[in-house]
Amino acid sequence: MAGTVGTAVGMFVGTNIDDLVVLTVLFLSARADGTPRAWQVWAGQYAGIAALTAVSIVAALGLTVVPDDWVGLLGLVPFALGVRGLVGALRGGDDDPPAVAAGVLSIAGVTIANGADNISVYTPVFRTVGAGATAVTVAVFAAGVAVWCLAASWLGSHRWVVGLVERYGRWLVPGVFMAIGALIVAESGVLGRMP
């Protein structure tokens, strides 16, 4: 159980660092001009993460055609995304500011658009764990959204924090992706089965 919770926390943090930046900017905007309202940020983030998680679970169910002995190779997907992100960060990275949204649906849309990495990381994990671990993971994600919204609200009252998170977040995210991918591959034992 503790391992499942730890893995879920790592997945959530690693795939949602960018969301923390977006949420912080949204809370800064809410304090500055009242748009969006705080409850809209919370509701939009929950809706977006719920949609990403549901898509990942459905995709994992579709992967049941992959033999269990080889499913650990799916860990190469988040690992490759991490390498790509690291290369991008080394080349100068993406300096585009996060999109600002004004309502629940647009905030959920930003979360979903920002979440291709979530699906690529969550899907192989949901494919390799059972129903109980999936339920625990979903519960951790729900708690994670609350923590993220609270942290972003607090950070949103400190403008200097936005610059700090934007400056180092692009290094942290690839590292976490690579670690999650390597963990999936290592724990599956697939490397020992390769010829």
Count Cβ atoms below 10 Å from residue 194 Cβ, excluding itself: 7
The Cα 78–Cα 75 span in angstroms is 6
Structure tokens at 158: 């400190």
The pTM (predicted TM-score) of the whole model is: 0.67
For residue 36, whether the previous peptide bond is cis, meaning omega lies within 30 degrees of 0, is yes
Successive 10-residue mean pLDDT values, the chain, 195 residues: 87 84 78 80 93 88 65 68 78 52 79 75 85 92 95 82 64 68 72 70
How many independent structural domains does the chain possess?
1
Which residue range(s) make up the domain with 38? Answer: 2-193
Exposed, middle or buried, 3 (CB in 10 Å: 0-12/13-18/19+)? exposed
